[in-house]
Amino acid sequence: MSTIASRTRTQVAIVGGGPAGLLLSHLLHLTGIDSVVLDNRTAHTIETTHRAGILERDSVRLLVDAGVDRVLRDGHRHEGISLRFGGVSHRIDFEDLAGASCWLYPQTDVFVDLHRARTAAGADLRYGISDTEVTDVVDAPRVRHTGADGHRHEITADLVIGADGSRSICRTLVSGATQYFREYPYAWFGVLVEAPRSAPELIYTRSPQGFALISQRTASIQRMYFQCDPTENPRDWSDDRIWNELQTRLAGDDDFRLLEGPVLERAVLPFRSFVQTPMRHGRLLLAGDAAHTVPPTGAKGLNLALADARLLADAIEHALVKNDATALEHYTTRALARVWKAQHFSYWMTTMLHRAEDTSEFDELRQLGELDSLVTSRAGATYLAEGYTGWPTR
Ligand code: PHB
């Protein structure tokens, strides 16, 4: 057995230094609770891995209330989206329907802001580590890892949080858990392109060739996706082929055209729906993708992770400062109430806008009927607006 080079005692050991882990660490710090954050990835890898870019109203509120407010300066407030089908765009006006907006602000920026806030506060953040081992989660959690220095280190804590993403090692420690899965017969082809904005808001498109999403990043960089087969190889797609596919899916009688430019990055992004329950085992609690993943249609993943961090911060404060351990017992129920709503919303947006390979004419016409009833009914459009901008945190 290798020797332990350092032993650290903290209140909360957080495995996973993405937005959920960092926000939790930050919120705990604001209530005087100390934590250590660990991640196998380097901060640079996380900063440069493109993820979704939409924050719900209450996600923005949560960040701003915690003093992390660059989103208000560098983010873009979106008061609606376009739903495009049959070659026609239909605006869903969030402000009018739900009295709320969402914000276009990439997950990478959320990470950068939280990482900066934690670093400025002198937090113990350990990125680029390896061989993380979490043990004794029922009574006295212990986390061992090999540091960037090549030595073995140990952390003991009152609680350990598994915020370690969709390939979580922590979730395997929840014995007797139930897992729910749903696979989809398609993936997204995601591109980052250098081009001006083609539209002021996001366009979610259903076309006979399948789904496409036009999103943005900056005045000169855009993010776009189109539905593809999960086995598609990004290297088979030239810039021309990508633009042709996107233009075909967006085409309509209004002669809408995307503004084109060089494709900077391309990747096939498979997805599925997943939930694990319970989200707690003894002194281990799970947050974000470690416990649940959603398809990206509707951009709920990051928002769910931030909402978990908020609930956890509250429960941990009750448990460690106010000596009320029942707060931890309620965590799964409270978190999953939101998660299942988001699971339905993401599944619904996905199946309403994508085209399965073996789809029948009946399914196609039914799908168009569904979209049509949505955009012609204030009640239908309001459900979309409320779900997209996010259910109130309480
Ligand atoms: C993005 O901008 O990357 C994005 C936006 C909305 C989604 C998914 C991804 O539903």
Q: Which atom of ligand 1 is nearest to the CA of 51?
A: 3
Residue 138 is predicted with a pLDDT of 95
Kindly report the number of other CB atoms within 10 A of residue 4's CB atom: 11
Residue 297 within any structural domain of the chain: yes
- Structural domain contains residue 97: no
153 CB under 6 A from ligand 1?
no
Centre of ligand 1 from the C-alpha of residue 11, in Å? 35
Mean pLDDT over each residue of the chain, to the nearest integer: 96
* % of the chain residues with pLDDT over 90: 96
Confidence label for 393 from pLDDT (cuts 50, 70 and 90): confident
Shortest-distance atom of ligand 1 to CA 217? 2
- Residue 369 belongs to a domain with what CATH number? 3.30.9.10
Residue 82 Cβ inside 6 Å of ligand 1? The answer reads no
Is residue 95 situated within a structural domain? Answer: no
Going from the Cα of 225 to the center of ligand 1, the distance in angstroms, rounded, reads: 8
* Any domain includes 261: yes
Task: Indicate whether 188 and 175 sit together in one domain.
Answer: no
Residues 28 and 172 in one domain: yes
User: For this structure, is 78 an active site residue?
Assistant: yes
How far apart CA 369 and CA 381 sit, in angstroms, is 14
Residue 93, in any domain of the structure:
no
160 and 279 in a single domain? The answer is yes
Q: Is the pLDDT of residue 1 over 70?
A: no
**Residue 135: pLDDT above 70?**
yes
Q: Which domain covers residue 378, as residue numbers?
A: 182-271+356-389
Q: How far is the CA of 353 from the centre of ligand 1 (A)?
A: 14
The pLDDT value given to residue 392: 86
Residues 314, 373: one domain? no
pLDDT digits 0-9 by tens, 214-249: 999 999 999 999 999 999 999 999 999 999 999 999
Looking up residue 53, the CATH number of its domain turns out to be 3.50.50.60
Closest ligand 1 atom to 297 CA: 10
Q: Kindly indicate the confidence band of residue 357, based on its pLDDT and cuts at 50, 70 and 90.
A: confident
- Residue 119: its H or E element: helix 107-120
Q: Whose CA is nearest to atom 3 of ligand 1?
A: 52
> Per-residue pLDDT tens for 361-391?
999 999 999 999 999 999 999 999 999 999 9
Please tell me if the CB atom of residue 299 comes closer than 6 angstroms to any atom of ligand 1.
yes
Q: What is the 18 CA–ligand 1 centroid distance (Å)? A: 18
Residue 85 lies in a domain: no
Q: What are the tens digits of pLDDT across the range 178-200? A: 999 999 999 999 999 999 999 99
Annotation says 127 is catalytic: no
What is the structure's pLDDT at 394? 61
Indicate if 109 and 252 belong to the same structural domain.
no
CA angle centred on 81, ends 58 and 210, rounded to 5°? 120
More confident residue, 2 or 223: 223
Nearest CA to ligand 1 atom 9: 52
Question: Which is nearest to 197 in space by CA: 224, 172, 158, 228?
Answer: 224
Question: Of 104, 82, 76, which Cα lies nearest the Cα of 94?
Answer: 82
Determine which one of 29, 281, 292, 300 is catalytic.
300
Tell me whether residue 88 is in a domain.
no
State how many domains the chain has. 2
Asked if residue 344 belongs to a domain, the reply is yes
Within 13 Å, how many C-alpha atoms sit on residue 99's CB side?
Answer: 2
The pLDDT value given to residue 325: 83
Same domain flag for 242 and 299: no
Q: Please spell the DSSP secondary structure of 293-349, one letter per residue.
A: E--STT--HHHHHHHHHHHHHHHHHHHHTS--THHHHTHHHHHHHHHHHHHHHHHHH
- pLDDT digit string (tens) for 85-96? 999 999 999 999
**17 lies in the same domain as 119:** yes
Same domain, 201 and 168: no
Q: Which of 14-18, 64-68, 72-76, 356-360 has the lowest mean pLDDT?
A: 356-360
For 152-188, the pLDDT digits (tens) are 999 999 999 999 999 999 999 999 999 999 999 999 9
pLDDT of residue 250: 98
**What percent of the chain has a predicted confidence (pLDDT) above 70?**
99
Best mutation site among 105, 215, 297 for ligand 1 pocket (most ligand atoms within 8 Å of CB): 215
What's the confidence (pLDDT) of residue 223? Answer: 97
Clarify whether residues 250 and 323 are in a common domain.
no
Q: Is residue 296 in contact with ligand 1, taking CB distance under 6 Å?
A: yes
Does one domain contain both 57 and 170? yes
Whether 296 is catalytic is yes
What spacing in Å lies between the alpha carbon of 368 and ligand 1's midpoint? 22
Residue type, 87: G
- 237 & 344 share domain: no
Q: Does residue 331 have an active-site annotation?
A: no
Q: Do 65 and 204 belong to one domain?
A: no
**pLDDT tens, 288-302?**
999 999 999 999 999
